[in-house]
Amino acid sequence: MKKLALHWQILLGMAAGVIFALIMTNFSWGAEFINDWIKPFGNIFINALKLIAVPLILASLIKGISDLKDISKLSKMGTRTILIYIGTTLIAVSIGLVLVNLIEPGNAIAEDTRNDLIASYEGDANMRIADAQRQKDAGPLQALEDIVPGNIFAAASDNGNMLQVIFFAIFFGLGLILIPEETARPVKAFFDGFNEVILKLIDLIMLAAPYGVFALLAALVVESPSTDLFAALAMYGVTVLAGLALMIGVYILIVWVTTGRDPAFFENGIAPAQLLAFSTSSSAATLPVTMERTEEHLGVHEEVTSFVLPIGATINMDGTSLYQAVAAVFIAQAFGMDLTIGAQLGIIATATLASIGSAAVPGAGMVMLVIVLSQAGIPEAGLALIFAVDRPLDMCRTMVNVTGDAAVSMMVAKSVDKLGDPHERKWDENLPKKEKVH
């Protein structure tokens, strides 16, 4: 019997998780049962993914950079990657701004609802504001300073320091290119083998994906706030979702036009990573799967994925920037403020930067939103307004973040002639063929 494609298995797992949790909420002990006996399996699944993120970046980036063989190729790929990332982020913020100005979801909020929301979520919002304050207090070059770790083991011991690990891997890879080939060979062979092991681990973890997402979604359903709150914020949610859907359309179109790969090819290739992004709300946790799918199903050569995707997971967050633009203007509208064109242009700049600075973990986009709000002179307390629906929107924006990274890696690959046919594994002919999980 033909096995169900992985994305269908994951979707089934998600649907089963939601249905199971809805049934369980009918029992007084249902929520506790899910928290005690189901949720831990979701956490184990996320931990397993996070566990291999740092080794994966190290192994694949060192291998990828050293395969490049000369530094000019790296700078060419690097420049294109950063430019395309900034380009897609600007498109995302602009889509968000246009939609929120057209739909005006903030004007649909009654004053009573506004005050209720602020009263209920003030405490949570203040915690995010305090987090953001710590980031704001840093000097202008702090972000740059933070990229270079003082100690690689300290950097690699914290999944929040991805950029530092990326820096070390690129630096190490460069060293490997610059020393005599003879001396570099055993080191390279080690990282090649290490990389293969990590890829195999991803295959193994993915065997558990349908069960992992079952547990994650079941836990989310029992923890979600009442549906009344969702109703009050419906127009805001619809605006963000419409923008995110449009952005997925933009990627599909750009990929189609620039690489000739049709929408079905792109979607079938990336769907499992999108579903995991949705279930985990973390581009960092999804990174191993994004890399595997982009390489093996979208045909992007490892030299490109190993460089473009870890960087993308940390700095390219189109879904987050779009959400920040919509949320900022929504809060302004809800407070009856009229934002000038100048203020809105300022939002384009700050949302782009804030999305670059957001960590690839659940809820990070909301912390950086505080900075967008304060730059635009919008009350930070407004954060409490959107708190109730942040998690589902986070799930959707993470999906867009991951899709954007994959789309850009295809464009970059095409531009440096490293886009192949995934099924032939044209680029890795010398590697032993991997068994596929699906």
Residues in touch with ligand ASP (CB under 6 A): 281-283, 317, 320, 358, 360-365, 394, 397-398, 401
Give the nearer residue to ligand ASP in terms of CB position, either 103 or 396: 396
Give the nearer residue to ligand ASP in terms of CB position, either 199 or 276: 276
Whether the CB-CB separation of 430 and 275 falls below 8 Å is answered with no
Give the nearer residue to ligand ASP in terms of CB position, either 57 or 419: 57
CA-nearest of 210, 262, 190 to 438 is 210
User: Which letter does DSSP use for residue 117 in this model?
Assistant: H
Give the nearer residue to ligand ASP in terms of CB position, either 317 or 419: 317
Give the nearer residue to ligand ASP in terms of CB position, either 103 or 327: 327
DSSP string, 274-323: HHHHHHH--HHHHHHHHHHHHHHTT-B-HHHHHHHHHHHHHH--HHHHHH
Question: To the nearest whole angstrom, how small is the minimum distance from the Cβ of residue 97 to ligand ASP?
Answer: 17
Question: To the nearest whole angstrom, how small is the minimum distance from the Cβ of residue 318 to ligand ASP?
Answer: 10
Question: To the nearest whole angstrom, how small is the minimum distance from the Cβ of residue 281 to ligand ASP?
Answer: 5
Give the nearer residue to ligand ASP in terms of CB position, either 53 or 62: 53
Cβ partners under 8 Å of residue 126, min gap 6: none
Whether the CB-CB separation of 199 and 434 falls below 8 Å is answered with yes
Question: To the nearest whole angstrom, how small is the minimum distance from the Cβ of residue 178 to ligand ASP?
Answer: 34
Beta strands in 124-271 (DSSP E): none
Give the nearer residue to ligand ASP in terms of CB position, either 363 or 420: 363
CA-nearest of 8, 395, 368 to 217 is 395
Question: To the nearest whole angstrom, how small is the minimum distance from the Cβ of residue 352 to ligand ASP?
Answer: 14
Which helix (H) or strand (E) element contains residue 366?
helix 364-376
Give the nearer residue to ligand ASP in terms of CB position, either 365 or 422: 365
**Cβ atoms within 10 A of the Cβ of 335, count?**
15
Residue nearest to ligand ASP (CB): 365
Question: To the nearest whole angstrom, how small is the minimum distance from the Cβ of residue 88 to ligand ASP?
Answer: 14
Whether the CB-CB separation of 344 and 329 falls below 8 Å is answered with yes
Q: In the numeric block, which tokens belong to residue 365?
A: 């986009």
Q: What CA–CA distance (Å, rounded) separates 371 from 351?
A: 9
Whether the CB-CB separation of 332 and 339 falls below 8 Å is answered with yes
Q: In the numeric block, which tokens belong to residue 116?
A: 């209720």
Question: To the nearest whole angstrom, how small is the minimum distance from the Cβ of residue 411 to ligand ASP?
Answer: 20
Question: To the nearest whole angstrom, how small is the minimum distance from the Cβ of residue 84 to ligand ASP?
Answer: 18
